[in-house]
A and B are shown apart, each in its own frame.
Chain A
């Protein structure tokens, strides 16, 4: 399996990018050259230089340091959203698929309702209703994300629920609850896990999008989307203020996507 990862160059690129992002987030205070929130009006709108690698913004904060610290915020949002929506979606999907009948109908119709709105619009309305903050962005995104896992897990539960080992487990006297958590879910979770690793990138992108339109992180928080939003007015004078946060988002989403696709190939037995 490790050989499979290393044999695919794109997966390796994804893996390396994700590793760099994780390390950056872990050691942000050591890597950052300046305080990310400390304004320095005298130094405002400096172009990239040896002192400020990525230049400074409209109040003189070091953009490189802000992006480094922003990694923490983005990663945290991505992870929390996935960690909330993944278990909820998985359990609901497994219950729907395993029990079937009315329970299945009810759960799947609710997911259909959620999926009938474009995700970002739904997240926008939830975030707007709750008020702009990072926590509310997390809630809004989690609320729009779980139905995808429900669908994926349900379909893979349907494909394994008549397996002999599940029948064998019933024959051993295991109750349905135990079978659901010990047999059904572990054996049907793989596709959803791959989806989750792909989603990390998209969640970060969506969170940046919500912050960009002012529904997420508030200044002076060094969130990438918010940084992009702030740099709109000064785009003509300071290209660096918008470019570097944009590149940070691009690279992060790309990294998680490449890794997710790679995992898909590695874990999917049909492509082995």
Chain B
């Protein structure tokens, strides 16, 4: 078989079987992790509440996306680059027309995307911000001290889909099915490790913020 057939087979696998396996691990893994947390529950609190829990909990889910002035002043780099990377990542994931078409094909929902040149720039900025964060992680005394192999693995597995997508979009690897297949494979790797790593924060931060907001709200403290 020549390279074109191999590339096509590779793409067919990553689009089909590979993708299904990854999605299954992702969904079951995330469900188990979330249930593992929720089933632990909380003990009854007998102290007389000063405020409510639900409202402040929900408010904290929103408010913790905004930075307090002191933290911004003391850690401008992490805050600014953190915003850029997260926003950039979601732009690339959700506003690239082929991604929207894929979602529409499987879930039947769609929304308008951004023009390709804008996406191209967003991807470049996002990758650059990730490199900056990596450099910061390796040099800042606290981040360097706190970082484990998992932090670097997760960085790599989050970076690869952006890089492979960029390469595929610019036809930097030939044949194209090979480039696209590689892009899908990196996405699948990310999905597979997701439930076992700190990537889970994408889901659990809603719980964490809610619990903290609720516990503080009960005491009449805004968080």
Do they bind each other? no
Q: A residues touching B (Cβ–Cβ < 8 Å)?
A: none
Q: B residues touching A (Cβ–Cβ < 8 Å)?
A: none
